[in-house]
Amino acid sequence: MRRAVHFAIAYAFAFASAVLAGLYAVLSATGPYAFGKALILCLIAFGGCHGPAFVRRLWHTTGFAGATIAGIGTAFCLLVTLWGGLGTLSAGSAVMSADRTKTAEEKAIDRAALARLIDAHGKVAQARPAGVVAPEILTAKASPRYTASDGCAPDKITAPATRQHCAFLRGLEAEHAAALEIARLDAEIAAVSGRLANAPAAVEPDPQASAFAQLTGISAGLSAALYALCASVALEFMGMAAMLNAWADAARPRLEPAVAAAPVKVEPAPKPKISPLGSKQAAPLPMPPRAERTPPRINVVTLSPPRRLPEGMVSDFASRRLSKSQGSEEDMMSVYRVYQKWCGDNEKQAIPAERFIPSFLAYCDSTGVQLRDEGKKVYCVDVKLWA
């Protein structure tokens, strides 16, 4: 279960890194080329996340040459993935900033237009509504004076009454035009006011970058770029660490919770020897195995609590009793029995097998000792155990 959780976390980071790098291809290209580029960047991101695990594995299997090749590939995968992630985050920030800048500019334009319309409305002469003035114009045009003057033509106006009637008609027409202009301005003012009322609130193009710029004194553009870079680096390195942890845990063999004690071999009783005189000598009785001896009961009065021995450190034991030896192997049961003997010789308390095994595996992992798993037996490869 623990290994499954480790792999789930590791591949979640790897998938996020691949998506971040692949989106840059979609944003920077079009058509089939964009999908091909996205696939390549996703594979590079996965390779970068697996890079440290590959380096560690190749170091133990092929040595310096394989680890060096994997390390160089990992470095370039990291660089390409960081570049793609930086481009994706920067592109997203640029789109957001452009939208917010456009909204702010549109609101500024509407405010200027509203101020201009209100100013024009104030300069138009007061007039009655157009619906009231229009019937009066029709009535004035139906008068005989309007007809006799050929529609109030200047050269046809001769009588003072006709001149007065035409002046009255022109006043009505001017009032009607003013009424129409006021209605148009009112409609435009209402439309602009509605847009301003429904427009989103004005927000900084990039509030995070602006706040960081105010705190540090750097420009908002540089702040946004640093943020994108740090986000990409954090995602990539945590993905590498999670993948290395998952594969390192998977490389450890699964062992039984305890190491079984070695079976005690009981030698058969020797045959009785015949003396030169022909009498049979009684053979000594075989001693029972040490594990089966029953110590006699002795009542001891203890005046002070017994001295508690310190625990035998696994790393101390392994560094003293294990050494490199090409081609040699030692099984885990033998290692634990030698550890118990070493603890007894050095007046130390041997820890139980269920605690010894994880500690010894951690020591092997930290020192590069390879393990080989054969069913229920585990062997340390290329090491010699000194009893």
For the domain made up of 309-387, give the CATH fold: Arc Repressor Mutant, subunit A (1.10.10)
Span between the terminal Cα atoms of the chain, in Å:
37
* 302: Cβ contacts below 8 Å, ≥ 6 apart: none
Enter the pTM of the model.
0.37
Q: Is 278 helix (H, G, I), strand (E, B) or coil?
A: coil
Query: Is residue 217 left, alpha or beta, with left meaning phi > 0 and alpha meaning psi from -120 to 50?
Result: left
Q: Residue 255: which of 98, 360, 341, 175 has the closest Cα?
A: 360
* Distance between CA atoms of residues 120 and 184, nearest Å: 11
The answer to whether 276 and 262 are in contact (CB under 8 A) is no
* Distance between CA atoms of residues 221 and 40, nearest Å: 29
Give the orientation angle of helix 332-345 with respect to helix 314-321, to 10 degrees. 100
Look up residue 1 and give its amino acid: M
* Distance between CA atoms of residues 260 and 136, nearest Å: 118
Cross-strand bridge partners of residue 280: 274
* 238: Cβ contacts below 8 Å, ≥ 6 apart: 13
Q: Which two tokens stand for residue 158?
A: 């001769």
Look up residue 375 and give its amino acid: G
Q: Kindly report each contact of residues 250-255 with a partner whose C-beta sits within 8 Å and lies 24 or more positions away, as own/partner.
A: 250/3, 250/6, 250/7, 251/57, 252/361, 252/365, 252/371, 253/371, 253/373, 253/378, 254/373, 255/332, 255/357, 255/361, 255/378
* 284: Cβ contacts below 8 Å, ≥ 6 apart: none
* Distance between CA atoms of residues 77 and 46, nearest Å: 9
Give Cα 25 distance to the centre of its chain.
19
Residue extents of the structural domains in the chain: 2-106+205-251, 107-198, 309-387
Query: What pLDDT is recorded for position 118?
Result: 93
* Distance between CA atoms of residues 69 and 212, nearest Å: 40
Cross-strand bridge partners of residue 381: 329
Query: What pLDDT is recorded for position 275?
Result: 44
* Distance between CA atoms of residues 227 and 209, nearest Å: 8
Please list the pLDDT of the chain residue by residue as tens digits (387 residues): 777 887 888 889 888 888 877 777 677 667 777 778 788 888 888 888 888 988 888 887 777 887 899 889 889 888 888 777 767 777 766 666 666 777 778 888 988 998 999 988 888 878 889 898 899 889 988 888 888 888 888 888 888 888 888 898 899 889 889 989 999 999 999 999 998 888 887 666 677 777 877 888 888 778 777 777 777 777 777 777 777 777 766 665 554 444 444 454 545 555 555 444 444 444 555 555 554 556 566 555 555 555 677 888 998 898 888 888 888 888 888 899 999 999 988 888 999 988 898 888 889 888 888 888 887 788 888 888 876
